[in-house]
Structure 1
Amino acid sequence: MWKGRFSENTADIVLNYSQSLDVDWCLAPFDIQGSLAHAQMLVSVGLLTPDEGLRMEQGLKQILREIEEDKFKPSIELEDVHMNIEHRLTEILGSLGEKLHTGRSRNDQIATTVRLFLRDKLADFQEKMRALLEVLLGRAKAHLYVVVPGYTHLQQAQPISLGHYWMAHFQAFRRDYTRLQAALDGMQECPLGSGALAGSTLPLDRFFTSEALGFQSPSENSLDSVAQRDYLLDYHYFATGFAIHCSRLSEDLVIYNSQEFGWINLPDAFCTGSSMMPQKKNPDVLELTRGRTGQIIGHLLDLIISLKGLPMTYNRDLQEDKRGLLASLTAVEAILSIFPPFLSQVEADQDRAILGFQNGLTLATDVAEYLVGKGIPFREAHWKAGQVVRYCLDHNCSLFQLSLSEWQDLVPEVEEDLLPLLDLKTSVSRRQTYGGTSFSEVNRQIDHGWNWIKSIKIIANKAKS
């Protein structure tokens, strides 16, 4: 493609080193999609005749069929997906095929192709994210009245509704969905027609190709169009946040499923055993998710480091951006495929959870707030409740076992109305602040979540139509 400038052929070792077919051949259908729009535009501005445009369209569609039927074997001598398709088109159409690249560079071509590919992938991810969010809402509803320990510093803190726990993860993944939408919104400009970096002297109609390919508008600046990879960063930001949230959820479930905790039951079909120890039930799905999260984060860092010192505009370094992208997409897609069916079968053991509350100390904050209701300043109430905790620890007894007289010996302000409050479900149900763990408030969160799901489905359906 560049032999006019050079006095000798490119060395085979350089071809092997510089080819990108191992990463960009999967982009072939989207490259053809962009080429079809480009050819139509060339006809519209008179750079191709209608007959030439029709023949070019037929040739490109023939190549697409050959790819789909695995009859087209690309050659590394042609370096990449773009030149392989153009070369095959020239084999089919003769010199007409050589007109396809009129007014176009591989720089703006790949920027367009990757956007088309990624746009398709992320639209699929949105559907899978909605399925994950719906599963979390289902778990929250199913476990609304299950009371489990809430933790800070991995120490028992206060009793909560397990439904409240699931809704916490719902909110995290809801933010991920918003970031995913932002990544899609960041790909609304079409770079095709920017050329190598400076545009073209030919009468290209960039608005034509932008509309034909479903973009909102052509990109504003040809230099920026071929140099920037912000749309890839936007994807990696989503992927990294999503993976971190999945890893955190995985860590929780690994802990809560352990013998020492035991109040979460993982489905057998999503666990494995040990090759040596017959009793083992290993949470491999969760552990692999934690492991793959590091890889996903690494792909973001890889791209950031590649971009941080590149001069304007296109540099061959940018060829490598697709390796991390494709690896990240594969990892995220795998998590999105397995998490919904897996989480939908996670169950709770209320009896085991109650065992964890035996000493009753998670109700100490309830005692302090009860005293505040009696007019005692919070810091004094906190100290008095702490003295009760100290008494229970010193005498190896439960907060639940203290009689009214013992309470009054420790805290004279206590009256009989405290005793009915020292109940786990009562404690949960009384935390009715907006966003709190009371059953009524969690139920409101669930309803709000379903309404949000309905709204984003309406938006998604409009986008499809």
Structure 2
Amino acid sequence: MNTKDKALWSGRFASSPAEIMQKYSQSLDVDWHFYKEDLEGSKAHGRMLHHIGILSKEELDKIINALSEIEEEVEKGLLQPKISLEDVHMNLEARLIEKLGPLGAKIHTGRSRNDQVATDYRLFMKKSITAIETKLLLFLEVLLQRAEKDVDIIVPGFTHLQHAQPVSLGHHWMAYFWKFTRDLERFKTAYKTTDVNPLGAGALAGSTLPLDREFTRKELNFAVNSENSLDTVSDRDYLLEFLFAASTFVLHTSGLSEDLILWCTSEFDFIEPPDAFCTGSSMMPNKKNPDALELTRGKTSGVLSSLYDLMINIKGLPLTYNRDLQEDKRPVLHTITTINMILDVLTPLIEGIIVKEQNIEPHLNKGFLLATDVAEYLVAKDVPFRETHEIVGGIVQYCVKQNKSLEDLSIEEWQRYCPAFEDDIYSILSPRLAVDRRKTFGGTARVEVKRQVAVGKEMIITLKSK
């Protein structure tokens, strides 16, 4: 091995690692993503070393300039990482030493790769979570637009995938709006957990040098400093927080995708997804497959697995740093990529859906959607609900046997089951009126859906201003 490619920890060893060990232990395929953050952290650390008198102003200027040059080299593809140097930290530091000689070696004063990778990772995650939050806000806006646009469209609501009660389609969109709003809050919690400065914790116990952690905290724009050096280098809670937020998010996108996949089948035919997010069949020219929605549903498993991957990785690890933690990046990077792709696809897809009102209308006459309304009609006539439930159940059974709908029944047939029925029973047998009667707070009445949309808009304005 060329001496300049020797690991920066090699002084303790009489021989270099086996070639297979170099390949086995390298992490460049994942941590090279952090090169910007690593250089950012090194600049902050260098300024702090000058602040406490370890670097002169001239030395600091040379280091900062060299680090900026290295960043340009990486971006232009002029600096390619070497597996022999294991990771992003040692590759960049080795290049700094190449450029500045012994002065470059001063940058690692009071620092370990343990607190260095923690710093890089947290900086990277803050940027990644912020980008996801921005896209999620846009997605929430599209759901609000759909809810406002589709508030007057009535669709059957389902339980057990059986026709249950009529609801406003706007109400349906708002149901997902609130789910994704909670997801946004979880991402914000993950950001807060991430926004902690680890630099200065060292390998595990801090440093004998008078490092100024508050200085680097401000330089790197972290909210607070970590409190305990042992906890700092072993902590991966912030990644678990992020992966949990991501997991609940994909559970919601999977549920939304399943709803829409069902709705665009021939059996339902409620909606037409945009052509741009569908594919055809290599054999059957008639097919229009909702592939983007199916893939969104399918990608859920990978994100959920990422959460379990990290949880199993850190289960039972002793304090403090263990090399197992090198494997914490693949599941997180995979999840970040997946979440971004899902949002990039679902946002325009939802925006471009065409609702087929004429095909929905016949479904409003199926499944006795207004049976509960009939039961509550009798409650208003002072019949106890448990009695009304049994009465209306009998009426539905009669209709099934006679192949009739509730609207087809004569007043004599109604009164056969309960004398409290009067001619005004027919005035409630309208899905649209049934929707608007459900004015309870959070109900499906169109006035309530419009209230929800207004609240959602105010929420988006507030979130954008933060």
Q: TM-score, normalised by structure 1?
A: 0.98
The one-letter code of the counterpart of 1:411 is C
- Mapped partners of 2:463, 2:212: distance in 1: 34
| Range moving further from structure 2, 220-229 or 257-266 | 257-266
1:284 matched to 2:308: no
Q: Secondary structure at the match of 1:186?
A: helix
The one-letter code of the counterpart of 2:347 is P
From 180, 186, 203, give the equivalent of 2:210. 203
Alignment partner, residue 5 of structure 2: none
The one-letter code of the counterpart of 2:328 is D
1:295-314: CA deviation from partner (whole Å, max 9, x where unpaired)? 00000000000111100000
Alignment partner, residue 75 of structure 2: 68
Question: How far apart are 1:347 and its partner, in Å?
Answer: 2.2
The one-letter code of the counterpart of 2:185 is T
Question: How far apart are 1:264 and its partner, in Å?
Answer: 1.8
Alignment partner, residue 94 of structure 1: 101
Question: How far apart are 1:359 and its partner, in Å?
Answer: 4.0
- Mapped partners of 1:171, 1:358: distance in 2: 29
| Range moving further from structure 2, 17-26 or 263-272 | 263-272
Q: Where in structure 2 are the equivalents of 1:338-353 lying within 5 Å?
A: 338-353=345-360
Alignment partner, residue 463 of structure 1: none
Q: Secondary structure at the match of 2:55?
A: coil
8 Å contact kept, 1:360–1:400: no
Alignment partner, residue 14 of structure 2: 7
The one-letter code of the counterpart of 2:144 is L
Q: Secondary structure at the match of 2:227?
A: coil
1:185-235: CA deviation from partner (whole Å, max 9, x where unpaired)? 101210000000000000100000011000112110000000010010011
8 Å contact kept, 1:359–1:400: no
Alignment partner, residue 420 of structure 2: 413
Q: Secondary structure at the match of 1:156?
A: strand
1:136 matched to 2:143: yes
- Mapped partners of 1:13, 1:90: distance in 2: 26
- Mapped partners of 1:450, 1:80: distance in 2: 46
Alignment partner, residue 464 of structure 2: 457
Q: Secondary structure at the match of 2:438?
A: coil
Alignment partner, residue 255 of structure 1: 262
From 387, 395, 403, give the equivalent of 1:388. 395
Moved over 2 A (4+): 357-360, 403-406
Structure 1 394/27 Cα, relative in aligned 2: closer, same or farther at 3 Å? Answer: same
- Mapped partners of 1:359, 1:141: distance in 2: 26
- Mapped partners of 1:272, 1:189: distance in 2: 45
- Mapped partners of 2:203, 2:24: distance in 1: 22
8 Å contact kept, 2:435–2:446: yes
- Mapped partners of 1:133, 1:193: distance in 2: 39
8 Å contact kept, 1:359–1:399: no
1:236 matched to 2:236: no
The one-letter code of the counterpart of 2:358 is D
Q: Secondary structure at the match of 1:52?
A: helix
1:40 matched to 2:47: yes
- Mapped partners of 1:57, 1:192: distance in 2: 18
The one-letter code of the counterpart of 2:407 is F
Q: Where in structure 2 are the equivalents of 1:320-339 lying within 5 Å?
A: 320-339=327-346
Alignment partner, residue 222 of structure 2: 215
- Mapped partners of 2:284, 2:9: distance in 1: 63
Question: How far apart are 1:3 and its partner, in Å?
Answer: 2.1
8 Å contact kept, 2:112–2:202: yes
Alignment partner, residue 3 of structure 2: none
Question: How far apart are 1:405 and its partner, in Å?
Answer: 2.6
Question: How far apart are 1:406 and its partner, in Å?
Answer: 2.2
Q: Secondary structure at the match of 2:364?
A: coil
The one-letter code of the counterpart of 1:40 is R
1:430 matched to 2:447: no
Question: How far apart are 1:139 and its partner, in Å?
Answer: 0.6
8 Å contact kept, 1:141–1:163: yes
Q: Secondary structure at the match of 1:361?
A: coil
8 Å contact kept, 2:22–2:83: yes
Question: How far apart are 1:360 and its partner, in Å?
Answer: 6.2
8 Å contact kept, 2:126–2:195: no
8 Å contact kept, 2:154–2:432: yes
The one-letter code of the counterpart of 2:374 is V
Alignment partner, residue 448 of structure 2: 441
The one-letter code of the counterpart of 2:143 is L
From 209, 222, 225, give the equivalent of 2:232. 225
Question: How far apart are 1:315 and its partner, in Å?
Answer: 0.2
8 Å contact kept, 1:251–1:286: yes
The one-letter code of the counterpart of 1:105 is S
Structure 1 6/363 Cα, relative in aligned 2: closer, same or farther at 3 Å? Answer: same
1:193 matched to 2:200: yes
Paired residue total: 459
The one-letter code of the counterpart of 2:355 is A
Unaligned runs of at least 5 residues, structure 2:
1-7
- Aligned-pair identity in percent equals 50
From 319, 323, 345, give the equivalent of 1:316. 323
- Mapped partners of 1:403, 1:352: distance in 2: 28
Q: Over aligned residues, Cα RMSD in angstroms?
A: 0.8
The one-letter code of the counterpart of 1:120 is K
8 Å contact kept, 2:411–2:423: yes
Q: TM-score, normalised by structure 2?
A: 0.97
From 59, 80, 94, give the equivalent of 2:87. 80
Unaligned runs of at least 5 residues, structure 1:
460-465
Alignment partner, residue 111 of structure 2: 104
The one-letter code of the counterpart of 1:133 is L
Q: Secondary structure at the match of 2:286?
A: coil
Question: How far apart are 1:410 and its partner, in Å?
Answer: 2.7
1:156-209: CA deviation from partner (whole Å, max 9, x where unpaired)? 000000000000000100000000000101012100000000000001000000
Alignment partner, residue 462 of structure 1: none
From 162, 178, 187, give the equivalent of 1:171. 178
| Range moving further from structure 2, 434-443 or 260-269 | 260-269
| Range moving further from structure 2, 406-415 or 127-136 | 406-415
8 Å contact kept, 2:217–2:223: yes
Question: How far apart are 1:101 and its partner, in Å?
Answer: 0.3
From 259, 269, 282, give the equivalent of 1:275. 282
Question: How far apart are 1:10 and its partner, in Å?
Answer: 1.1
- Mapped partners of 2:189, 2:403: distance in 1: 55
- Mapped partners of 2:355, 2:415: distance in 1: 37
